[in-house]
Structure 1
Amino acid sequence: MVGRRFDAGFYERFYADPDTQVADEASVERLVRFVCAYLDYLQIEVREVLDFGCGIGLWRAPLERAIPGLRHYHGVEFSEYLCGVHGWAHGSAVDHDHGRPADLVVCQSVLQYLPANQARAAIRNLARHTGQAMYLEAVTKGDWVHSCDQSRTDGDVYLRTVDWYRRALAPHFVSCGGGLFLPKDTQVVLYELEQA
């Protein structure tokens, strides 16, 4: 992956320009409120968040509003440009070592940029860092065809099937829907229909 791929122009197009941005602050705010409400329902207390591929940091302020007791938000970003602008830790979901698990790991729109072997390694690394829960979003082949606005979504990615992701995630996580995953050994009680 070439470093200039995630330069100022990339973030201007997909995050800053209202005509081409893939997500805006309001949509991320709704998503974060959903994730935090679901975690609250599951009685999962979140004090520390580790955000892999945090980009321009769209999750940070909504998390702080949704979780008044949030103690730490750690952004990890591959883009050297964004690390310089925002002060994130430079690293990759593939091998970044935070040193300890976080209550909530966020990995939104990262895995589709990695070839299969690196995506598998990233999933293992995410599992190692997930203390209580993980929010994961990755564009699949089906999403690209049926769900994405292709004029606003970066299509220069590795499009894999949803089954590929499910197989890679299954040894490590239990899906509870809505992009939320719990560690395989979770003590949280999930009814069968809550598991996606």
Structure 2
Amino acid sequence: MRQQAKVVIGPGMFDKTYFQAGNYNDYKEIALVWTGRVARRIKRTSGKKHPQVLDVGCAHGYLMVALQGEGCQVKGLEYSRYVMKKAERAVRKTIEEGSVLDDKFPPNEFDVVVCLNVLEYIPEGQVEKALRNLVRWTGDLIFFTTCFKHSRYASQKHSPDNLRITIKTEKEWIDLFQRVGAAYKEMFYDGGGGDVLVFRKKYDQAHTR
């Protein structure tokens, strides 16, 4: 039996064609439904007046704009050069080019690290490294979601995206975060059709540099 070739995902694949296809046709309209709600939850959960927040895979920066509106200090990390150029003007200069797999930031650099719908594009063998970076960069909280297995958004029929390669259940992600130093705190509905998992960095990890 012929084996299916592995898809090697590079930044050039997240180009104009990608962002104008599939479920990205009405991306901004949908984003405006949930970003305000998620931003308020992040601010409230942080317990800080002006938390420092990193948005990993920030794309157009819609959540970053909402976070700024809540008084957060924001920075974005984005893999796609194309979408960086299209990002919202209010946050464009605060977005750095890079991947969740890169060693971009010092330990405990941010109060909150947000990673929404990114790790489905990371090969299975590199998932743990990505999670370790999220845990290393945050000093406290991680807000995380992805296309969870068995959800509507993992279906190519409902949410077409041929670049998704890693799909797991919520429990599998919780177990993986636990393994790399972050404990599950809670889950909430984002208002746009998905669940967001919240993790808290373990005490021994937060005090290790």
Output one character per residue of 1:75-126: Cα deviation in whole Å (capped at 9) or x when no partner: 1001121233444211111124123520110100011111112111000000
Q: 1: distance between equivalents of 2:67 and 2:202?
A: 25
- 1:175 partner SS: strand
Preserved CA contact (<8 Å) 1:60 1:73: yes
Number of the residue aligned with 1:98: 105
Aligned equivalent of 2:142, options 126, 134, 142: 134
Gaps of 5+ in 2: 1-8, 188-196, 205-209
- 2:151 partner SS: helix
Preserved CA contact (<8 Å) 2:152 2:158: no
Preserved CA contact (<8 Å) 2:43 2:49: no
Alpha-carbon shift at residue 64 of structure 1 (Å): 1.5
Moved over 6 A (4+): none
Aligned equivalent of 1:111, options 84, 102, 119: 119
Aligned equivalent of 2:63, options 26, 34, 59: 59
Preserved CA contact (<8 Å) 1:13 1:21: no
Number of the residue aligned with 1:177: 186
1:24 aligns with 2:31: yes
Change beyond 3 A, Cα 1:16–1:112: closer
Number of the residue aligned with 2:84: 83
TM norm structure 2 = 0.73
Alpha-carbon shift at residue 31 of structure 1 (Å): 2.1
Alpha-carbon shift at residue 142 of structure 1 (Å): 2.1
1:47 aligns with 2:51: yes
1:77 is matched by which residue type in structure 2? Answer: E
Matched pairs, number = 178
Q: 1: distance between equivalents of 2:29 and 2:184?
A: 25
Output one character per residue of 1:151-178: Cα deviation in whole Å (capped at 9) or x when no partner: 3453641212333312210031111112
Q: 1: distance between equivalents of 2:41 and 2:123?
A: 30
Q: 2: distance between equivalents of 1:152 and 1:124?
A: 28
- Range with greater deviation from structure 2 (154-163 or 96-105): 154-163
Preserved CA contact (<8 Å) 1:106 1:135: yes
- Range with greater deviation from structure 2 (132-141 or 22-31): 22-31
Gaps of 5+ in 1: 187-196
